[in-house]
Amino acid sequence: MSTDYYASGSDTTEGKVFTVTGQDWDSISDGLAEEADERVVVNMGPQHPSTHGVLRLILELEGETVTEARCGIGYLHTGIEKNMEYRSWTQGVTFCTRMDYLSPFYNEMTYVLGVERLLDIEDQVPEKAQVMRVLLMELNRISSHLVCIATGGMEIGALTVMTIGFRERELVLDLFELITGLRMNHAFIRPGGVAQDLPPGALDEIRGFVALMRKRLPEYADLCNANPIFKARLEGVGHLDLEGCLALGLSGPVLRSTGYPWDLRKTQPYSGYETYDFDVQTWDTSDAYGRFRIRLNEMWESLKIVEQAADRLAKMDGAPVMVADKKIAWPSQLAIGSDGMGNSLDHIRHIMGESMEALIHHFKLVTEGFRVPAGQAYVPVESPRGELGAHVVSDGGTRPFRAHFRDPSFTNLQATSVMSEGGQVADVIVAIASIDPVMGGVDR
C-alpha cells in the first residue's frame, strides 16, 4: 500500500490524528474507512492557505461537523516587546511598526501617544502632525480592510474580489511610499510629531486616489453584497452576539456587527478625531456577513476623513510637524545625497556649521535619546481590527522599561472556538476570515 505523504496519520492518546495540508477531503475520508469511530482530530495549518498566516487550528470533527476548535499560536514570535527595552524611545517605533504588519501606523500611533503622555507634551504636538497622523491612519484602514476582504474572498473562491482588492491596496502603498519613503514598516510617527513634512504633489495624489476609490468601491458591493452564493457562505456563519463579545473582550468590526456602536475615535477621541465628520458603522446580524459589510462601509467613511484631512493640510503649507522642544525633536529633516544614499554634503555642512553645543546635542540625541519621566501610560487607538493599545512604562531613563501591546488580533482570536463549534469544516475558514487576525500582532 502506498504512503500518502500529504495526509499522514499518527496514533495518539486522543485517537488517530490527521494533518491536513490542503488536499482533497476524500483522502481524509479514505483514511477513516477502517475506523469504527467517526471522531477525528485534524491539524489545519500552520501552513494551510486558509489560516491567515502561521495560525494552527486543531479541529475535532464528527463527519464534517466541528465539535471542538482550538488555536495554536506562537509560530511567528519575534520578541519585539522585549527588544524595545534595549533601544531608545524613538527607536522603539522601528520595532513596534512591524507587529501588525497590515496596519503599521496604528502600532506606531498607540506607542507614540503613550510616550507623549509620559513626556507631558500632548498639547505641544503641532496640529499639522496630528492631521498627517489621521490621514495616514485612515489610508492604512482602507489598505488593511482591502486585504481582509481580498483574502477572505480568495478563501471561499471569489477570486475576482482578491485581484481587485490587492489592485486597490497597491495604490495605497504607493501613497505611503511617496509620503514616508517605505511601503510598510515606516517608523514615521515619532514622539513629538512625524518624521517629515509631506513631499510636493502628495495632496494631489491623495485627492486622485480618493476620487478613484469612490468609483471602485461600488464594484465590491456589486460583486458581493447581494450575490446569493457569497451571502449563502457568510450569512449566519461565525455567529457571536453582543454578550459573547463583551465576555471575551472583543472589539472592532466583530463587536460592531452586533449593532453596538463602539469606536474609540468617537467614544475616546484622540488626535482631534472629534473634529472630523464621519459615522460609526454597525450591522445587526452578528455574523461574518455583517463584518464584511461593516468593513466595506468603513472604507467609505475613511475616504471622507482622508478628504477632510487633505483639505486641512492644504492650508498648513510650511507649518511645523515636530515639537519645538529640541531636547525631544528627533533631527529628521534630512537631505539625501545626489546618489540617493546617505546625507547630502550641504546638509552635513549645515549641521557642522552650527555651534559645537548644537552638534554635541545632535549627536547625543541620536545615540542616547531623550529621557522620559518615570511613570506608565496606556492610550488605545481604534485600529482596523479593534482596540489596539500600548502599555508603556518608564523608569526615568532613555529606554522603555516595559512596553506591552494589547493587540486586537490576539484578543479577537479567542472567538474562534465559539464561532466554529457546531458548524461545518468549510465554515471555520469564513469565521476566521471574519475575525481578520494578523499573526504578527498575535505573537509579537
Task: Give me the chain's average pLDDT, please.
Answer: 83
Residue 173 has pLDDT above 70, yes or no: yes
Q: Note whether residue 343 is domain-resident.
A: no
Domain end position, chosen among 49, 72, 95: 72
Contact 108, 96 (CB under 8 A): yes
pLDDT of residue 34: 56
Query: Domain for residue 331, yes or no?
Result: no
Total domains in the fold of the chain: 2
Residue 105 lies in a domain: yes
Evaluate if residue 383 carries a pLDDT over 60.
yes
What are 87's three cell numbers? Answer: 533601544
pLDDT of 303 reads 92
pLDDT > 90? residue 348: no
Grade residue 23 by pLDDT with cuts at 50, 70 and 90.
low
Q: Which residue has the higher pLDDT, 305 or 12?
A: 305
Give mean pLDDT, residues 143-159.
84
Of residues 24 and 94, the one with the higher pLDDT is 94
Query: What distance lies between CA 301 and its chain's CA centroid?
Result: 18
Q: CA 319, CA 372: separation in Å to the nearest integer?
A: 26
pLDDT digits (tens, 9 = 90+) for 180-204: 888 888 888 888 888 888 888 889 9
- Considering the domain architecture, whether residues 13 and 143 belong to the same structural domain is answered as no
- 345 to each of 41, 337, 359, 365, how far by Cα in Å? 65, 7, 16, 21
The CA-based angle 348-353-354, given to 5 degrees, is 110
Distance from C-alpha of 369 to C-alpha of 354, rounded to nearest angstrom: 20
Q: Same domain for 380 and 237?
A: yes
pLDDT of 137: 92
Co-location of 67 and 192 in the same domain: no
Tell me which residue range forms the domain holding 240: 80-324+370-443
Among candidate residues 22, 37, 72, the one where a domain is terminated:
72
- Which cell numbers in the block locate residue 183? 511601503
| 11 pLDDT higher than 60 | no
Q: Which three cell numbers stand for residue 30?
A: 479514505
Residue whose C-alpha is closest to residue 46's, from 23, 65, 21: 21
- The domain spanning residue 91 has which CATH number? 1.10.645.10
Helices (H), 315-400: 345-353, 356-367
Q: pTM (2 decimals)? A: 0.85
103 and 52 in a common domain: no
Task: Answer yes or no: is 345 within a domain.
Answer: no
On whether residue 339 sits in a domain, the answer given is: no
Tracing cell 486616489 back to the chain, one arrives at: 209
User: Do 278 and 386 share a structural domain?
Assistant: yes
Biggest CA pair distance of the chain: 85
For residues 67 and 92, membership in a common domain is answered with: no
Whether 375 and 400 have beta carbons less than 8 Å apart is answered as no
My answer on whether 228 and 200 are in the same domain is yes
- Are 157 and 49 part of one and the same domain? no
Is 116 inside any structural domain? yes
What is the pLDDT confidence band of residue 404, given thresholds at 50, 70 and 90?
A: very high
Are 50 and 115 members of one domain? no
434 vs 69, 120, 220, 235, CA distance in Å?
A: 16, 39, 16, 11
Residue 272: is its pLDDT beyond 60? yes
In a domain, 131, yes or no: yes
Which of 25, 40, 72 delimits the end of a domain? 72
Determine, yes or no, domain membership for 336: no
Per residue in 346-376, is it b (16+ CB within 10 Å) or e — as a string? Answer: eeeeeeeeeeeeeeeeeeebeeebbebeeee
Residues 47 and 96 both lie in one domain: no
* Domain identity same for 209 and 240: yes
Name the strand (E) or helix (H) holding 107.
helix 104-119
My answer on whether 169 and 189 are in the same domain is: yes
